[in-house]
Amino acid sequence: MPYGYNGKILHADLTSGTLAIEEPPETFYRQYLGGQGMGMYYILKEMPAGADPLGPENVLAITLSVVTGAAVSGQSRVMANAKSPLTGAIGDAQAGGFWPAEAKAAGFDAFIIKGKAKTPVYLWVHDGEAELRDATHLWGQITGEAEAAIRDELDDSRIEVLQIGPAGEKLVRYACLINMSNRANGRTGMGAVMGAKNLKAIAVRGTSKPPIADQKALTEIARWGAQNFEDSEVYGMGLHGTADVLPFQQEDGGLPTRNWDSGVFEGYEALGGPT
């Protein structure tokens, strides 16, 4: 098993209602790493050309990275990839929160979802095991309600839930995936893709700890990062939010301006986080 990973990918075919576990070789992890690299591999491999973003043939890849679940501040991240119903191109949306780390602890490095369930379901993943459960009673609930209902149903308050609300169910093309009620995979309509598959949520719980090559060195790096965080360029994100990245986007020529006619904007200083 490669360091930092569980060595397992969960595949869910919602049309047939079947689940399968793949155990890729270490070379796979070294080549695709995790996150978007891993997600794109499965989308290009399993999604046919011309697939309808809201059709069963679209592939939704929920992927984690090598550092997800490790004791490093800010590294509990999850990536969602699929063909976007908003743009028609490949969509990507990243989020933080407790769900990514708990998903890694549940025993898997990624969740590859295709097909469409006949009726609403949710995926329950725990300590290397998985099952599809009925979600008709959850359909129509807002995200906080569904999260609480799943925890009550499974009798565990520490379960983390990645879910859609009514917007995703109604296939709003910019609907999000939500965990913790306030962490969003907020770009490119991944919530609509999940809703089109009749998948309400992915609930996770686990105790797995992927192997780490050098725990002492990782702890030292994590401690150094925490001690020097206020001196870093990303410190402003906690104070000002995403608007703090405007100067960096301007400098790189990646600040969307006039419908991407340009990558720089002369008045960016009035829009940045400190302003």
| pLDDT tens digits along 63-100 | 999 999 998 888 899 999 999 999 999 999 999 999 99
Provide the pLDDT confidence category of residue 2 given band limits of 50, 70 and 90.
Answer: confident
Q: Is the pLDDT of residue 228 over 90?
A: no
Q: What pLDDT is stored for residue 199 in this prediction?
A: 99
Full-model pTM: 0.91
Average pLDDT over residues 14-20: 99
User: How sure is the predictor about 274, in pLDDT bands with cuts at 50, 70 and 90?
Assistant: confident
What does CATH list as the number for 9-205?
A: 3.60.9.10
Write the secondary structure of the chain as one string of H (helix), E (strand) and C (coil): CCCCCCCCEEEEECCCCEEEEECCCHHHHHHHCCHHHHHHHHHHHHCCCCCCCCCCCCCEEEECCCCCCCCCCCCCCEEEEEECCCCCCEEEEEECCCHHHHHHHCCCCEEEEECCCCCCEEEEEECCEEEEEECCCCCCCCHHHHHHHHHHHHCCCCCEEEECCHHHHCCCCCCCEEECCCEEECCCCHHHHHHHCCEEEEEEECCCCCCCCCHHHHHHHHHHHHHCHHHCCCHHHHHHHHHHHHHHHHHHCCCCECCCCECCCCCHHHCCCCC
Residue 237 pLDDT: 73
pLDDT at 166 over 90: yes
Question: Domain coordinates of the chain in residue numbers?
Answer: 9-205, 233-270
User: If you average pLDDT over residues 240-256, what whole number do you get?
Assistant: 88
pLDDT classification of 225: cutoffs 50, 70, 90: confident
